[in-house]
Structure 1
Amino acid sequence: MKSKDQKLQQKHPQLVKKLQGDANYYYRQKDKTTLKLLEYLDFYNVEAYFVKVKSKLLKDKLFEIVLLDYDNVILHSISHWLLERLKEEGVFIEGKRKSIIDKYINERY
Protein backbone atom coordinates (compact mmCIF):
# COMPACT_ATOMS: atom_id res chain seq x y z
CA MET A 1 0.00 0.00 0.00
CA LYS A 2 2.89 2.36 0.75
CA SER A 3 4.25 1.92 -2.77
CA LYS A 4 1.12 3.62 -4.14
CA ASP A 5 1.79 6.82 -2.20
CA GLN A 6 2.33 9.62 -4.75
CA LYS A 7 4.79 11.57 -2.59
CA LEU A 8 6.86 8.48 -1.87
CA GLN A 9 6.92 7.59 -5.58
CA GLN A 10 8.26 11.05 -6.45
CA LYS A 11 10.80 11.37 -3.65
CA HIS A 12 11.98 7.76 -3.28
CA PRO A 13 11.41 5.73 -6.47
CA GLN A 14 14.02 3.14 -5.43
CA LEU A 15 12.21 2.52 -2.15
CA VAL A 16 8.92 2.14 -4.02
CA LYS A 17 10.54 -0.42 -6.32
CA LYS A 18 11.86 -2.34 -3.29
CA LEU A 19 8.45 -2.29 -1.59
CA GLN A 20 6.79 -3.61 -4.75
CA GLY A 21 9.42 -6.33 -5.06
CA ASP A 22 8.91 -7.33 -1.43
CA ALA A 23 5.15 -7.49 -1.89
CA ASN A 24 5.52 -9.70 -4.99
CA TYR A 25 7.97 -11.98 -3.15
CA TYR A 26 5.61 -12.49 -0.21
CA TYR A 27 2.62 -13.12 -2.48
CA ARG A 28 4.66 -15.82 -4.29
CA GLN A 29 5.56 -17.37 -0.94
CA LYS A 30 1.88 -17.34 0.06
CA ASP A 31 0.91 -19.06 -3.19
CA LYS A 32 3.63 -21.70 -2.73
CA THR A 33 2.38 -22.35 0.80
CA THR A 34 -1.21 -22.58 -0.47
CA LEU A 35 -0.13 -25.20 -3.01
CA LYS A 36 1.69 -27.22 -0.33
CA LEU A 37 -1.45 -27.18 1.81
CA LEU A 38 -3.63 -28.29 -1.11
CA GLU A 39 -1.19 -31.07 -1.97
CA TYR A 40 -1.17 -32.20 1.67
CA LEU A 41 -4.97 -32.38 1.50
CA ASP A 42 -4.68 -34.13 -1.89
CA PHE A 43 -7.10 -31.45 -3.18
CA TYR A 44 -9.86 -33.32 -1.31
CA ASN A 45 -13.04 -31.29 -0.66
CA VAL A 46 -11.53 -28.20 -2.23
CA GLU A 47 -13.31 -25.94 -4.67
CA ALA A 48 -12.08 -22.85 -6.45
CA TYR A 49 -13.66 -20.28 -8.73
CA PHE A 50 -13.28 -16.72 -9.97
CA VAL A 51 -14.96 -14.14 -7.76
CA LYS A 52 -16.90 -11.02 -8.66
CA VAL A 53 -14.86 -7.97 -7.75
CA LYS A 54 -15.23 -4.21 -8.03
CA SER A 55 -11.54 -3.69 -8.75
CA LYS A 56 -10.67 -3.35 -12.43
CA LEU A 57 -7.18 -4.68 -11.72
CA LEU A 58 -8.49 -7.89 -10.15
CA LYS A 59 -11.41 -8.50 -12.53
CA ASP A 60 -11.11 -11.93 -14.17
CA LYS A 61 -7.93 -12.57 -12.17
CA LEU A 62 -8.84 -13.09 -8.51
CA PHE A 63 -10.02 -16.54 -7.56
CA GLU A 64 -11.15 -18.02 -4.29
CA ILE A 65 -10.10 -21.39 -2.88
CA VAL A 66 -12.40 -22.91 -0.28
CA LEU A 67 -11.45 -25.83 1.95
CA LEU A 68 -14.87 -27.38 2.49
CA ASP A 69 -13.86 -29.50 5.50
CA TYR A 70 -12.63 -26.49 7.45
CA ASP A 71 -14.83 -23.64 8.65
CA ASN A 72 -13.74 -20.21 7.50
CA VAL A 73 -10.71 -21.31 5.48
CA ILE A 74 -10.94 -19.15 2.39
CA LEU A 75 -7.86 -18.36 0.33
CA HIS A 76 -7.39 -16.02 -2.62
CA SER A 77 -4.86 -15.71 -5.39
CA ILE A 78 -4.24 -14.31 -8.86
CA SER A 79 -1.42 -16.75 -9.62
CA HIS A 80 -1.63 -18.22 -13.13
CA TRP A 81 0.36 -21.32 -12.24
CA LEU A 82 -1.79 -22.03 -9.17
CA LEU A 83 -4.93 -21.56 -11.27
CA GLU A 84 -3.66 -24.08 -13.83
CA ARG A 85 -2.90 -26.59 -11.09
CA LEU A 86 -6.40 -26.21 -9.64
CA LYS A 87 -7.83 -26.87 -13.10
CA GLU A 88 -5.58 -29.91 -13.57
CA GLU A 89 -6.79 -31.32 -10.26
CA GLY A 90 -10.42 -30.81 -11.30
CA VAL A 91 -11.37 -28.52 -8.43
CA PHE A 92 -11.75 -25.27 -10.37
CA ILE A 93 -15.35 -24.38 -11.23
CA GLU A 94 -15.86 -22.22 -14.32
CA GLY A 95 -17.84 -19.00 -14.05
CA LYS A 96 -17.86 -16.28 -11.43
CA ARG A 97 -19.36 -16.35 -7.97
CA LYS A 98 -19.83 -13.89 -5.20
CA SER A 99 -17.03 -14.35 -2.69
CA ILE A 100 -17.87 -15.88 0.66
CA ILE A 101 -16.14 -12.84 2.12
CA ASP A 102 -17.38 -10.39 -0.52
CA LYS A 103 -17.53 -7.38 1.77
CA TYR A 104 -13.87 -7.85 2.76
CA ILE A 105 -12.39 -8.43 -0.71
CA ASN A 106 -14.32 -5.53 -2.22
CA GLU A 107 -13.35 -3.07 0.51
CA ARG A 108 -11.23 -0.14 -0.69
CA TYR A 109 -7.87 0.41 1.00
Structure 2
Amino acid sequence: MFIYFCSFVLSVSKWIHLNWGDEGLITLFSKVWRLLKPDGVFILEPQPWKSYISCRQVSEVASTNYKNLTIFPQQFQEILLDKIGFRKIENLSSSLTGSKTGFNRPILALWK
Protein backbone atom coordinates (compact mmCIF):
# COMPACT_ATOMS: atom_id res chain seq x y z
CA MET A 1 0.00 0.00 0.00
CA PHE A 2 1.31 3.44 -0.96
CA ILE A 3 0.52 6.54 1.06
CA TYR A 4 1.28 9.84 -0.60
CA PHE A 5 1.34 13.15 1.17
CA CYS A 6 -0.97 15.83 -0.06
CA SER A 7 -1.23 19.59 0.33
CA PHE A 8 -4.41 21.57 -0.38
CA VAL A 9 -4.71 25.23 -1.39
CA LEU A 10 -8.38 25.84 -2.08
CA SER A 11 -9.75 29.35 -2.68
CA VAL A 12 -6.76 31.12 -1.13
CA SER A 13 -4.15 31.59 -3.89
CA LYS A 14 -5.82 34.87 -4.92
CA TRP A 15 -5.57 36.24 -1.38
CA ILE A 16 -1.91 35.26 -1.06
CA HIS A 17 -1.28 36.83 -4.46
CA LEU A 18 -3.11 40.08 -3.61
CA ASN A 19 -1.52 40.42 -0.16
CA TRP A 20 2.05 39.38 -0.98
CA GLY A 21 2.28 39.92 -4.74
CA ASP A 22 3.95 37.70 -7.33
CA GLU A 23 6.81 36.94 -4.93
CA GLY A 24 4.39 35.67 -2.28
CA LEU A 25 2.68 33.38 -4.76
CA ILE A 26 5.99 31.92 -5.99
CA THR A 27 7.06 31.49 -2.36
CA LEU A 28 3.86 29.55 -1.65
CA PHE A 29 4.35 27.28 -4.66
CA SER A 30 8.03 26.70 -3.81
CA LYS A 31 7.34 25.91 -0.14
CA VAL A 32 4.59 23.45 -1.01
CA TRP A 33 6.93 21.69 -3.45
CA ARG A 34 9.73 21.52 -0.87
CA LEU A 35 7.42 20.17 1.86
CA LEU A 36 5.89 17.42 -0.28
CA LYS A 37 7.43 13.96 -0.22
CA PRO A 38 8.39 12.41 -3.56
CA ASP A 39 5.20 11.51 -5.42
CA GLY A 40 3.28 13.85 -3.11
CA VAL A 41 0.30 15.71 -4.55
CA PHE A 42 -0.52 19.41 -4.42
CA ILE A 43 -4.22 20.22 -4.89
CA LEU A 44 -4.72 23.79 -6.09
CA GLU A 45 -7.87 25.74 -6.89
CA PRO A 46 -6.72 28.92 -8.62
CA GLN A 47 -9.30 31.68 -8.79
CA PRO A 48 -9.97 33.35 -12.15
CA TRP A 49 -8.57 36.81 -12.88
CA LYS A 50 -12.05 38.37 -12.83
CA SER A 51 -12.31 37.51 -9.13
CA TYR A 52 -9.10 39.47 -8.49
CA ILE A 53 -10.69 42.53 -10.05
CA SER A 54 -13.63 42.45 -7.66
CA CYS A 55 -11.37 41.94 -4.59
CA ARG A 56 -8.53 44.31 -5.39
CA GLN A 57 -9.86 47.11 -3.20
CA VAL A 58 -10.28 45.19 0.06
CA SER A 59 -7.14 46.92 1.35
CA GLU A 60 -4.49 49.38 0.28
CA VAL A 61 -1.92 46.57 0.12
CA ALA A 62 -4.15 44.48 -2.15
CA SER A 63 -4.85 47.47 -4.38
CA THR A 64 -1.14 48.30 -4.72
CA ASN A 65 -0.14 44.68 -5.32
CA TYR A 66 -2.93 44.21 -7.87
CA LYS A 67 -1.47 47.01 -10.00
CA ASN A 68 1.97 45.38 -9.92
CA LEU A 69 1.08 41.75 -10.61
CA THR A 70 2.78 40.23 -13.64
CA ILE A 71 1.72 36.62 -13.06
CA PHE A 72 -1.87 35.73 -13.95
CA PRO A 73 -3.86 32.61 -12.99
CA GLN A 74 -3.74 31.24 -16.53
CA GLN A 75 0.08 31.06 -16.14
CA PHE A 76 0.05 29.06 -12.88
CA GLN A 77 0.24 25.65 -14.56
CA GLU A 78 3.25 26.61 -16.66
CA ILE A 79 5.04 28.12 -13.64
CA LEU A 80 4.31 25.10 -11.44
CA LEU A 81 5.65 22.68 -14.06
CA ASP A 82 8.52 24.62 -15.64
CA LYS A 83 9.82 26.81 -12.82
CA ILE A 84 8.79 25.12 -9.56
CA GLY A 85 9.44 21.54 -10.67
CA PHE A 86 6.19 19.62 -10.46
CA ARG A 87 6.33 16.76 -12.95
CA LYS A 88 2.69 16.15 -13.80
CA ILE A 89 -0.59 18.05 -13.67
CA GLU A 90 -4.21 16.98 -14.00
CA ASN A 91 -7.35 19.11 -14.01
CA LEU A 92 -9.61 17.14 -11.65
CA SER A 93 -12.67 19.25 -12.34
CA SER A 94 -12.57 19.02 -16.14
CA SER A 95 -14.77 15.93 -16.14
CA LEU A 96 -17.27 17.19 -13.56
CA THR A 97 -20.69 18.32 -14.64
CA GLY A 98 -23.43 20.20 -12.84
CA SER A 99 -21.16 22.50 -10.84
CA LYS A 100 -22.92 25.13 -8.81
CA THR A 101 -22.74 28.65 -10.24
CA GLY A 102 -19.73 30.51 -8.86
CA PHE A 103 -17.76 27.35 -8.15
CA ASN A 104 -17.03 26.30 -11.70
CA ARG A 105 -13.26 26.65 -11.25
CA PRO A 106 -10.45 24.27 -12.06
CA ILE A 107 -9.12 22.05 -9.32
CA LEU A 108 -5.62 21.00 -10.26
CA ALA A 109 -3.62 18.05 -8.95
CA LEU A 110 0.14 18.41 -9.32
CA TRP A 111 2.60 15.60 -8.59
CA LYS A 112 6.07 16.16 -7.23
Query: Same-fold call, TM > 0.5?
Result: no
Identify which of structures 1 and 2 has the higher relative contact order when contacts are C-alpha pairs closer than 8 Å and 6+ apart. Answer: 2
Larger Rg: 1
Calculate the TM-score normalised by the size of structure 2. Answer: 0.30
TM-score by length of 1: 0.31
